[in-house]
Copies of this chain bind each other. A is one copy, B any other.
């Protein structure tokens, strides 16, 4: 492929003092997160971020800001999302960025932005944070999709400002961030009206936008700010978050990046580029974790469960964006399983404390990120491991788990109450429920099992895929990884996207399973990205030329 606007390597650590595109202000229980994209501050110089259009860098800041509100500002109970540009809320993902990006970059960009929007809904559902989109001007494409992720949408009624999804009529692609799904499944816009809405480039404004359920209310410009402020205070009033701070401070993640490794305090990612294999090693706590809310609060971002999953999250994101050729990831753990289980006991005992709750939901979101990472994951459970409780979720999330069965080297894994539904997948089931869809009673059997599972017990219970002995281990693991690495990476991506999500589908899985898959298909099609495709032709004097064959 020709030179692209892909901007590797991406750094996902975006502290507020480096924000270019967002302003956060707090007024009592209401935070206002204002989009003010700097045109010349895109990740790549190949495009300019006009009209509050965004690229991955803009979204990394948004994701960071949302995270910080949750952890650093517990006294914030509602968030207003708006824009500092005059008469423009957001024009959506930058088209010139998309046009210049490789297929893989487009797909990963959409995946990350989807996760950010789902994190907004997660905060609303689980953290007592409500979101109000205050659309002070035109709101197109990804801009409207961002609004759709909020609990409510207010639109200024000025005869001009409209919400729209112009991707189909203008660009020949789909809204890439859940827009179609949320329009019909979340806001329950009638499907025929959704069809009209999604095919008129100019969108829908004013009272019709309310009647069609596209927004919750419209106000003339003169009354807009007051209406937004009043509604934000109402939304804030129902929160169960603490009335006052302080929160904790999320310090730098501190990734140490070298040629073939990324190292953190409790996570290590090592890359064997010639084999296209990475090893992701998670280390258990070096000492007993804090056990009281006060001590946890004092530990802040050094509280091991939060720290290790922040590092894991960063490692997964770097893998996705910066290491596209790594096809297989070996998941390992090292440390004292007793300390991991003790940490789980703390997470369970104080699960309603706001900071513990935030930590748990962050762990949940990171594990979902792993479920959605298009790489093959193989867990290797070896002596010295600490696949216990929350960390055993890594093995459950893996495509397969291998456990060494050598009587001379004791080896075990363990479950905890954290495996019982507190870390659900995006389909709403626990990973144990998904694993035992064919044998539901087994879920309780393994959760009530006393003590750890040795390799034979783990295999018999169905908790690991295979338990080779020491004679077979090296060959079996090596051959498995080699075999995987030889398969078509695209076929594996599709295979995993299907096998990892049995059982029910939710709005979330529909976005990643149905909408994203169709979008990825379209992102490959000559009618979009070919020489005369609509995405290619956009912004030029040329009109797109289509192959009219319907597929």
Contacts and interface: CB of A to CB of B under 8 A. Distances in A.
Contact of A199 (B183, B490, B495): B495
Interface of A: 103-104, 107-108, 167-169, 171-174, 180-181, 183-185, 187-196, 198-199, 213, 276, 324-327, 374-375, 398-401, 434-439, 462, 465, 483-484, 486-505, 509-510, 513-515, 517-522, 524-525, 527-528, 533-534, 544, 546-551
B546 A489 contact: yes
Nearest to A485: B548
Contacts of A484: 199
A513 B512 CA distance: 11
B551 A502 contact: no
Contact of A525 (B172, B276, B490): B490
Nearest to A498: B180
Give the 6 A-B CB pairs with smallest separation, nearest first: A188-B438, A172-B488, A517-B517, A505-B505, A494-B518, A184-B502
Contact of A551 (B489, B500, B534): B489
A147 to B, nearest CB: 17
A550 B199 contact: no
A103 B326 CA distance: 29
Contacts of A513: 510, 513-514, 517
A175 to B, nearest CB: 9
A188 B541 CA distance: 54
A190 B435 contact: yes
B465 A494 contact: no
A522 B549 CA distance: 19
A369 to B, nearest CB: 15
8 contacts: A168-B491, A184-B502, A191-B435, A192-B465, A193-B465, A489-B547, A497-B518, A504-B505
Contacts of A546: 488-489
Contacts of A188: 437-439, 502
Contact of A172 (B465, B487, B518, B520): B487
Given A184-B437, A499-B198, A519-B494, A488 B550 contact: no
A324 B549 CA distance: 5
A496 B486 CA distance: 36
A438 B188 CA distance: 5
Contacts of A495: 168, 174, 180, 195, 198-199
Nearest to A549: B324
A198 B497 CA distance: 13
Nearest to A511: B498
A171 B487 CA distance: 9
A167 B169 CA distance: 36
Contacts of A497: 514, 518
Contacts of A167: 491
A167 B494 CA distance: 11
A494 to B, nearest CB: 4
A499 B551 contact: no
Contacts of A465: 192-193, 196
A502 B191 contact: yes
Contacts of A462: 190
